[in-house]
A and B are shown apart, each in its own frame.
Chain A
């Protein structure tokens, strides 16, 4: 079936280190991807997105890389801070066009140790 999933359920890093969270998707028609951060008791918070015609996109301390050949997405967080501790989801809209639905992965729990 069509799904978006994450390789690792948990990731623990030291404060100040860089974090890399990975995601595999199976729908080769997917043309838009979003990373969300979910803190405890909160809803998914938009971090960064990328279209399928791009390989890389940078934001503030975050970079998303897209490898369409192997259908792999990653989120890199530079100089990870305790406030970055959360569950991170990648989400895929398939080729849904303007009124798309999102398919979420299971999430990776990032823990930042001081």
Chain B
């Protein structure tokens, strides 16, 4: 069964450093998303992406965050200058293009630890 894959599984970074989280969505999907989950809390929406542009972003997704689809398979989340409060699990999700009632499928996440 096709799945969303994310790398790395765990990223440890010094505060103030840039970090790039990588995702390979399911191949025939065209809608892409990033969510995050702070330890013990619920999953929160960050950004949605379609047709090579951001469709919607949350208040969390400030100027330090950016997303990119550099080629036909990868979807990345960049945090330019990380803060301690960026420590969380980051999940990538994707969805089929056909039909509005299609579920989002999630990867297993990247655990980001900011020191």
Chain A interface (Cβ < 8 Å from any Cβ of B) = 32, 34, 36, 41-46, 49, 51, 89, 91, 97-107
Contact = CB atoms under 8 A, between A and B. Distances in A.
Given A104-B42, A107-B42, A98 B56 contact: no
A44 B43 contact: yes
B107 A43 contact: yes
Interface residues of B, number: 25
A99 B50 contact: yes
A103 B105 contact: no
B43 A89 contact: yes
A102 B6 CA distance: 19
A49 B91 contact: no
A101 B104 CA distance: 9
B86 interface: no
B42 A89 contact: yes
Contacts of A44: 43, 91, 106
A101 B49 CA distance: 10
20 contacts: A36-B106, A43-B4, A43-B107, A43-B108, A43-B109, A44-B43, A46-B104, A46-B105, A46-B106, A49-B103, A89-B43, A91-B43, A97-B100, A98-B31, A99-B31, A101-B33, A101-B56, A102-B35, A105-B42, A106-B41
Interface of B: 4, 6, 31, 33, 35, 41-45, 48, 50, 55-56, 58, 91, 100-101, 103-109
Contacts of B55: 99
B22 to A, nearest CB: 14
Given A44-B91, A89-B42, A102 B104 contact: yes
